[in-house]
Structures are given as C-alpha cells and as structure tokens.
Amino acid sequence: MSRSGGRKSSRKPSKETGKKLGKDFSDTTPTPEEAFKISEHLDIPLHPHWTYHWDETTPERFRQLVEGIRSDDLKSAKPALEDLLVPHTAEDGRIRLPGNHRTVLEHLLPRENELEGLQTGSDIKELVEESSGLELGDQAPHYLGARMGRPEKAEKRTIQGDPQILFPCGKEEGGRMRNLVESYESGTVDESIIHNVDPETGDTVHYSWNPETGNPAEPIYICQSCGNQHSEETESCESCGNDRIERYTYTDIPVEQMMDRALDNLDTQLPDLLKSVRGMSSKHKHVEPLEKGLLREKYDLYVNKDGTVRYDATDIPMTHFTPEEVSVSPEKLREIGYTHDIDGEPLENSNQVLEMKPQDIVIPEGNENPASRFMLGVAQFIDDLLEQFYGLEPFYNADSKEDLVGELVIGLAPHTSGGTVGRIIGFTDAKGIYSHPYWHAAKRRNCFDPDTKLWYRKNGEWRFEPAENMVEENIGEDPETDDFGNRFQTPHEDLYVPSVSKSGDTEIKPVEKLSKHQPTETMLEIRTTTGETITVTEDHRMQFIEDNKVKKKRASKVQEGDSIPVPSSLELSGEYRTIDLLEHVAETDTIPNSRVMVSLKESTIKSILKQRTGSEQYLSATEDMVSVGRKAISNYVYRESVPVSLLEEVLGREQMLDRIPRDAELSMESDNTSVSRTVELNARLSTFLGYYAAEGFTGERDTSKGPIYQTSISAHEKQIRDFAKEVFREELGASPYEENEHKITASGRLLNFLFDEVLNAGRRSYTKRVPQQVFSSPDDIIGHFLSGYFSGDGSASSSSPDVKASTVSEELKTDLNALLQRLGISATNTVKDGIKLKQQFPDFYDEDCEREARPIHKIRITSTDAKKYREKAGFHLERKQEALDQSIRQTETNGGRPDNVGDMRHAEVESISEKEHGDHTYCLTVEDNHSVIADNIAVGQCDGDEDAILMLMDGLLNFSRQFLPDVTGARTMDAPLILSTVLNPDEIDDEAWAMETVSEYPLQFYRETQEYKAPWELDCDVEIGEDIVHSDEPFDHGYTHETSSVEDAPMESAYVSLGEMSEKTSEQLGLGKRTKAVDEDAAAELLLKKHFLPDIRGNLSSFSEQEMRCVDCNEKFRRVPMTSQKIAATGKTTAQCPECGGDVLLTISEGTIRKYMQPSKDIIEEYEVSPYTRQQILNIDKELKALFGKNERQSGLGNFA
C-alpha cells in the first residue's frame, strides 16, 4: 500500500522471466540506452519515463516531427512535441530538446519513407513499435475526471451559540451573546432547571449533590400544575391528579450565588464572557457545575450537547508511515509499540517505513485551530478539573503536543451512537485525520433522488411521499449548513420508517437525522426484473441477498443478476380518516375564504355573535370587531350563510373549527352547488377514489358568467355510472348529472378543490397519484381503493389467476405497488414505450404530427398473489370479479414463497443505467438497522465521511446522556453511548474489505487494467481485505509503492485557501480554460445552474419568509413591530423592540442574497452560456434591483418635517 516514502527496496528477479537486471532501478530512472536494453532483455514495454503520449497527436503533426528530428529543425514539430508531452525549450528562435529525449526520439521514430501508410492517430504507436522493434505501453490509456465533494476540514466542533457550559443563561438575562456573566449580574435567571433535595438538610439544590454540605442529593418529582413535590416517581399528582410530573420546574435560579461559590472553589476571577445556552433541552433539565464552564473558558474550549469537547476532521486513510512524516521520534514510537519496520528490522531512524496499527491516528496541526493545540488544551482542562474540582491527581500532565503521543481518544462518526477508541501517534499538516481505513470504514455520505418515495410515520400517521417532501417538511428552519450548502438536522418531530434487519425482518425504527445535499454528477437507476426501480447516488449502500442473509454494498458495485430484497408485505397500521374541508379552506391561499360560505341556522349565527361580543346588540358590536359593515353582517344572518373569513375573524381559527357543526355545508359565493364540511373516507368513497385514479379528471371552462369547475368520472358500464352518482350525492353532498352515456360530472369549485388540493389526486391521467389519506388508512380502505382502481383500469382473466392494470403515471404505478405491498401482494411491472399519437389516434392527429404518447406502465398480479388480491381487494365491478372468481376456482395455486428471507422476497436486478441528477439529493439516518424501504425496495440508509474525536478522559468524565436533548435522534445521535475498545474487522462496513492487501501486484494485473476490466472481471488473483478478514492477521496490509513524504502533498485545497467566491470561480474556470479536456463554457453553465442560481433563489425565498430579531434581547418577531418604526432614506426598515427597546433588524441580509450575483454576471459576460441561463441571471438581477435597488430612494417622514 502506498503511503509515504523513504525506504530503499531491494530489486527482486522478474517473476515473469526469472531474469535479473544487475542493477537496482527502484529509485533511479534508466538512461535511454538502459531502457532499450531492459525492454529487449525482459520483453516488456519501454520504461514509462521514455514513453510518450503517442495517441494524442495527428498523422500530419507526426510527419512534421519525423521531418524535424531528421533535419534538426523542430520549428514545425512544436505542436507534435506538445501533444506527446516531450520536454523542450525555445531559444533564439529554435526549438531545443534535452539530449536524452532527442536520443529516444531518434531511436524510436520511423524513417520518412515508412510514413506512407499512416492514416489515423491510432496508427502512430503501432508504426513506432514496428520501426523501433520495442513494445510501447500507453502513457495514459484512460483519462479520469474528478469533482470536489466538499472541502477538507479540521476544526473544533461547536454547536449553535458556541456555549462553553450547559447551564441556562435565560431568554433575556444572558443578553444577545448568551453570556452567563450578564446573567450573574442580574442575580437570578427565570428558567426551568432540575430540582433535587438534600435528605439531611432538606435543601433544594440543582446539582446531584449539595454544594454546601457535600451530601448526595436525591431526586424530587414536581407536579407541573400545582407545584406539589413527590419523593418518588408517580403517574399522577397526589394533590391535584395531574399526570404531568417532572424532575424540573421554572424557578429563579440563584446564578450569582452559584457562580460566587464556583469562583471560590477555583480561586479565579469572573471572565468577561462565558458563553452558555438559553435553556436546557434535556428531559430532566440537568445542568453542569459552573466550574466546568469557567475552566473551559480558560482554555478556549466549547462544549457539545452531551458535555464533551470535540474536534472534527476529514477522514484520510493511511496504512504505512515513517516517523519523520508524523513528526515523532523513533524513540517515542518504540515506547508505544512500534519496535520494527515492515522488513522486520529494528526501528532506529526516522526514514524507516512502519505499518500503522488499526486504531492509531495522526491528528492535524497545520491550520489556524490545530488539533494538537486544541487537544492539549482539553488535556490541561481535564487535569485542572481533576485537581481543582474533584480533588484528585492530574491524569495527563501534558505541557506540549509531544505529551499527547500515546494518549487515547474516542472517534465518533456522524449520526451514530457508538464511539471507537483510537490512539494519537503523531501529527500532520494536512487538514484531516490519518488512520487505518478500517477505523474510517463506516463513514460515507450517499443519498436518494428527490423523487424516491419513502414510507414514514409522523404524528401516528403513515405517509408515502418523495424523499424531497419528507426532508424539506421536517428538517426545520435552522439546520446546520456546511461550506457546500449541504444541510443537516435532527427531525423536529418524531419520524419512524420501516427498516430491514440482517435476517430480513421488517421493523419500525426512528429516523435520527435528515439531510439535504448538493447533487453528485451521476445517479444510478437500478431496475429489477419485476419492475421495481430506484435512483440513488453511486456510493449509496444497496442491500442484497446472499447466503440467506441481507447484506450491503455500494450501488456502483451492483450487477445485473444480483438479488435485492423487496418486502413481500408491510404490516403498517392505519386509522379511519375524516377530511375536514373547512380546515383546508381556512389554510389555503388557492380560494379566497371570503368567498367560501358556511350554511348555518339563523339562531346558530346569532348565538355565536352574541357570545363572542358579549352583547345582545350583536350587529353593532360585531361591526366594531371586524372589517365588515353592519348591513352585510345582517344580510349574512338573514340568508343563513356566513363567509369563512368573517367567522375566522370573529372566533379565531381554532374556535371556528370547534364551534361550526360538523354537518354544516360549504358553498362558493354565487355558486349553486354545496358540499359537506366533513367527508368520511369510508369503503364507498375509497372505492370511488380508486375509480377516479383510473378514469377521473377535474377541469374548468370559461363561460360568459365566469369559470365553471367540474369533477368527472368516465365510465362505459352502467354499474360504475350509477355508483359514481350515488357517491357524489351521498358521500360528498354534490349534485351529479350524466353528461353522456360515458361520463358522470359534478360541478362546483369546492368539489374541484377537494380532489385537486386536499386529496392531491391529480388532474390528468399522467399526474395521477394515490391520495395520502389512503396511505394512512386501515388495510380494508386500501383494499377498496384497489378494487375501484382495478375495476376502472384493470382486467381479470377467466382462465387463469391473472389480474392486470395499466397507467401512464409513473408515480401512480409506484403508489399502487406500495398499496399492494401493504396487503402482502407482489406484482410484476413492465413499461411499454409510447408510440406516435398519429398511429394511436389516426382520426385526431395529422400525418405530420411527431408527438409520442406517454409510456404505459403495466402492473400484473398472478398465481398466489392473484388469490390474495381476491381476498383483500377484489373488483368492485361485478363482471370482472366473476372472471377472477372463476379463474381461481379452476386453478390450483401453490403455497407461499419458499425462497423468502424473513419478510423479503428476491428481486433480480435487470438493468443499471445512469441518470441525470436533480437540484439536490436527500438522506436520512435510521436507528439500529440503518436501512429503509424506498420505492418499494429495501435499501441501506445514508452515511458520512467526517469524524469527531474527543479525549477519552473527557468522555469518561464529562459525558452524560442526561444532557442530550429530549427529541428522537438527539437522544442517541452523535453521542458515545457505546464505546468499542477493540476494533473487530468482521463488524465494520464491508466496504473497507475491498482494499488490496498484497505486497506487490502481478504483471498480469497491470495488463488486464489496460483492457479496462471491472475488479470482479480480472483473471488474476489479487488478495483483498475480504480474503483475510477472518484470518489470524486481518490487518496485514502489504506495502507496494515507494512515494515521497505525505507532507509533500498540498496541505489545503484552493477552495479553502482562496477567499471570495469570485476568486474561487475565477480560478476554477481559469483552470478549465487551460485544461484540454474541459469545455469551459459548459463548466460555467453548470456552475450557474447547479450552484449559484439555486442558492440565490433559495436565499430570496428565505428572505421573504424570514423573522425579525432584536439585536439586544434576541426576541424574534414574524413581522416588523409597529413600535418606533423607522424607514431610512435607503428604504431599510428598522423598529424598536417592544420587549427591551433594542433595534429590531432582519435576520437575512441583502448581502446573503447578492453574494453570487456579481460572480454570475461576470460569468455570463466572459463565457458562452445558453440564452435561457443568461436570461435567468438577468431576470434575477432585475428582481434584486427592484427589491433592494437604491436609485429611487424611499423618503422618510423626517424629510417632510
């Protein structure tokens, strides 16, 4: 394994020939004459140093090179020299070659009379070989391009607010900086905090001991209603019966008294700034002793949510190193177990190569916040804490970074709850942690396509939605964001997903983390023989079945024929649902709620208004409350019809929904049709929705009296038409009519709104989907939906158990398969490409019409699954049900699926293809099994590529799960709940086993790579980690290549070293201009479309939805307060905080939105981008000028005083 350099290796005889060279060329380059002899003697290609890029020039340029070499005039040969990458100089108008390169060319190049048959560039190398009698290798047989994923990182870990102690400073007392010193000056803090009691003195204390007496404290349980205290945990309060009993309550925390005691204990002074948190988010509101915060402040350390201090750094694998590379002496390395080098020689000097032990790490020291200095500060903090607070002997006694060598750390990957012990053995200038690849094994980041649909449960309700919807709706307003715009956050509400264990069993597990990422270049679409399709990033962890177990591997390693797991059933519970149309009307912006009328009895309206106004003169009293006149209010009462807007203004939304009768009817102003306020999703309506998915549509048409909104079901069979009319009338309260013998229609804007927005069932055949309300319903409702859909768009054979259906909506196909999966029914899916519309509908399309029909997705259920379908769904249409009954009576079906693994059936991979990515990709992390059901396939979850390290003693001394926030995910995520002291290679991610472990590669391996074979296609045997993982030496990785020192590489990327984004883009595109393989105009367009435009639009959207914040007390406001509002001459609005009088400002600045605008304009001026992209940039620029432009400044009132 190549790692670093310095060692001299002995030359071995060639295994291919058994011949010796007589000279060691390991560290020297042979002369041309020596290279020619080696090639001839060993019958191998010419030495790479003297091999040029023969395939990169043209026949014409090659002829000029031959002529130039023979005539000793190389002016015309310069283009060929540049193509071949032959070093040369231009002096005094002449092209000169270094002597050795001229020797090589004179030996290799053919004579001019041998050039006659030269036709193409691919013939050049063959011609040179024939002329010289030497075999030539390809200098660069394949060109590889790479894109930076994220910048390297080596930085101390902080959480929001950069606290140094977990102790509440209060919402106001701590000020804008959350400074506990300001709280100290206030004397007390009004916040919730844990309460304990000293059993001997009866004193209430906030630590686990009494600071006055030193006695251990015991917990007390406080009723949150009456404040009564209980000595033991109880289900309800003995005094008032309230069941909310907690370990904490709001109180005036005596911060001044507690801080004075802490200062006395440490014999120190109060600092100017001690950063804290506003309030505790843990379950019992445990707090840290103030002494810990004061000592962290002394060493400039910051606390994490679990009480530890951490350092984050990018993972960098390393298997071998020299003492010089890690800046540690051989003597020190011998002390910690590195006694011999890789050749078995005793370790004596700094240039010997050592094999890295699997749990050793090299930490960064070459940036502004080096880990070496930071971890030294942690060690000194721990020693002070042990001595001054616990009264114990110091542990580390560290005065310099060298004292850290040999000390243990805890390595913790993102989104996990298990730490692994590591040991510091050295230091590097690189921004990352060097360690054995096995120590980094489980840390990759991979994602789902935005349209990938996932089952998840939220607030007790099951949903089946795209990954984009799931993440965007639950990621919260303030996620962590890295330099590339990737966002991470624990869900702000409990989310659960079906997950798959190694044995194939389905289990419900909580989602611990959600994230949104910038896209990768390539997504892979994997399709099975039964029609399941999923799109993921190349490095996503796919599950597959092998040896009756569910295993994982990267998507890029999935092959056709692999068996991947698909759930044969999903046992997800559901509840019968009622749709409240009034609630949806109140929340929507689609329909003005001033035009939606609620039909109520006159007495009901009067009662509401009298009770709300507290006056018998309800008309005048209501007029004073609302923006509607008395006459209009009287008219509403008389007509027994009141607009939703008025009811909401009078009662408020919550009271309105509570007071209005559930059987009230809603209608649109000037609309003769009405619908029921509440709609029960019962068997009949679910069946009707199935018919709608198959044959329904909504629309509107303009008339002289205004638009008419219609909802229709197409049906050729009388049974369906009669059923549709019945449901329209009895379930929806509508008035349907038979528009013709093939269609039933009901008019009404609200009915249209129900199907389009509330149910979101799709307006046209290609936009159809299953309503979310069906996914969250019990199995019998799902069965009725399927019976309606297959009755409308399906068929059944009367001769064999065979049920079929088809749709042009790919999303509906996925949804229907998810419903079938819920019921334990497996289906096969196929796709039929669309044909030209003029062929499909010759009577409706002209001959010259080239438009194609949409692809048709076909669903087929056969054999045992057809029998299950009959039992759990069947057909609502009697004719089709009779055919299915007959086929099942006539045919014997076999039993279950004997080859199932747990709850999973096998699905063979049929094809793998590349697919363009969207604007973002999405990820989630699942507890325990780390897997999820996506697009009806069991797949692995998403992981990360960055570690945190913390000193072992810090974790043992200061970590407590009692500090962790009381939300799903945060209780177990990013916390070392479990500590692995010994690394077991059999338990790590098997991705790391794919590394070669040999000490040298056979020549056949190099020859086979020239054929561009995949690793699994190689004929030669190259040992990898998987071959030795169960051996006695599972960590024995061979050393193969001499290299220079790892410290010779760039220590940071240009992305990090450059400052402004304009500098970064200029350098990036400038490099593209200079690189032959790059189309710089295409690169510029991609940069605009995938980075700048989404960022500007996203920030612009956030700007319109932002909150306002007081700079003094940090109080937030949804809108600018009216108190002392000022409009500056620039048009900038500020106001005075009603809480403290401070200035209230926007939280998202103009600069945040504009930061990419000028670089974008520069790019479209300098590069040829598409007119559409150019127009987008210019239009956004106009928007920003309209929003922020200062040419026409708004005047303040002071200008007119």
pLDDT in tens, 211-234: 999 999 999 999 998 999 999 989
Cβ-Cβ contacts under 8 Å for 568 (sequence gap 6 or more)? 821, 824, 826, 897, 900, 903, 904, 905
The mean predicted confidence, pLDDT, of the chain is 85
pLDDT value of residue 11: 38
Kindly report the backbone phi and psi dihedral angles of residue 656, in degrees, each rounded to the nearest multiple of 5, phi listed first. Answer: -60, -50
Q: Is a pLDDT exceeding 50 seen at residue 10?
A: no
Taking the alpha carbons at both ends of the chain, their separation in whole angstroms is 80
C-alpha distances (whole Å) from 722 to each of 394, 673, 687, 727, 728 are 86, 20, 13, 9, 10
Helices (H), 526-617: 581-587, 602-613
- The number of helices, as runs of H, and strands, as runs of E, in the chain is 36, 54
Pair type for strands 549-554 and 541-546: antiparallel
Strand order in the sheet with 706-714: 696-703, 706-714, 743-747, 736-740
Q: Which domains does the chain have, with CATH numbers?
A: 32-132 (no CATH), 161-291 (no CATH), 310-443+962-1027 (no CATH), 493-568+899-940 (2.170.16.10), 784-897 (3.10.28.10), 1057-1188 (no CATH)
Q: Report which of residues 706 and 799 the model is more confident about.
A: 799
Kindly report the backbone phi and psi dihedral angles of residue 670, in degrees, each rounded to the nearest multiple of 5, phi listed first. Answer: 65, 25
Q: Is the dihedral of CA 899, 902, 904, 909 positive or negative?
A: negative
Residue pLDDT, tens place only, 1013-1043: 877 788 998 998 888 888 888 888 889 888 8
Nearest to 313 by CA among 946, 1056, 1021: 946
Answer for the pair 1178, 1093: CB distance below 8 angstroms, yes or no.
Answer: no
Residue pLDDT, tens place only, 724-758: 999 999 998 888 999 888 899 999 899 999 999 99
pLDDT value of residue 144: 77
Helices (H), 145-274: 180-186, 255-266
pLDDT value of residue 972: 56
Cβ-Cβ contacts under 8 Å for 367 (sequence gap 6 or more)? 154, 155, 431, 1052
Answer for the pair 484, 151: CB distance below 8 angstroms, yes or no.
Answer: yes
Does an H or E element contain 91, and which?
Answer: strand 89-91
Q: Is a pLDDT exceeding 90 seen at residue 322?
A: yes
- Region 975-987: what's the mean pLDDT? 80
Residues forming a β-bridge with 923: 515
pLDDT value of residue 483: 42
* 189's tokens: 């803090």
- Region 606-614: what's the mean pLDDT? 88
Q: Is a pLDDT exceeding 60 seen at residue 1119?
A: yes
Q: Above pLDDT 70, what percent of the chain? A: 88
C-alpha distances (whole Å) from 507 to each of 244, 467, 548, 777, 930 are 31, 20, 18, 19, 11
- Name the band, by pLDDT with cuts 50, 70 and 90, for residue 1108: confident
Q: Is a pLDDT exceeding 70 seen at residue 294?
A: yes
Q: Above pLDDT 90, what percent of the chain? A: 43
Mapped onto helix, strand or coil, the DSSP state of residue 367 is coil
pLDDT value of residue 419: 84
Q: Report which of residues 1155 and 540 the model is more confident about.
A: 1155
Answer for the pair 445, 482: CB distance below 8 angstroms, yes or no.
Answer: no
C-alpha distances (whole Å) from 120 to each of 55, 65, 186 are 10, 15, 85
- Name the band, by pLDDT with cuts 50, 70 and 90, for residue 13: very low
Residue pLDDT, tens place only, 479-503: 665 444 556 677 767 788 888 877 7
C-alpha distances (whole Å) from 1066 to each of 662, 1059, 1075, 1154 are 63, 12, 14, 17
Residue pLDDT, tens place only, 433-485: 999 988 877 444 456 778 888 888 888 889 999 888 888 888 766 666 544 45
- Region 593-603: what's the mean pLDDT? 91
- Region 145-161: what's the mean pLDDT? 77
pLDDT value of residue 14: 47
Task: Provide the CB-side half-sphere exposure for 1066 (13 A, CA).
Answer: 10
Kindly report the backbone phi and psi dihedral angles of residue 880, in degrees, each rounded to the nearest multiple of 5, phi listed first. Answer: -75, -30
Query: How far is 162 from 33, CA to CA, in rounded Å?
Result: 66
Least confident range from 162-166, 437-441, 455-459, 524-528: namely 437-441
Query: How far is 1049 from 244, CA to CA, in rounded Å?
Result: 60
Report pTM. Answer: 0.61
Per DSSP, 526 falls in state E
- Region 803-824: what's the mean pLDDT? 92
pLDDT value of residue 1191: 46
Per DSSP, 137 falls in state -
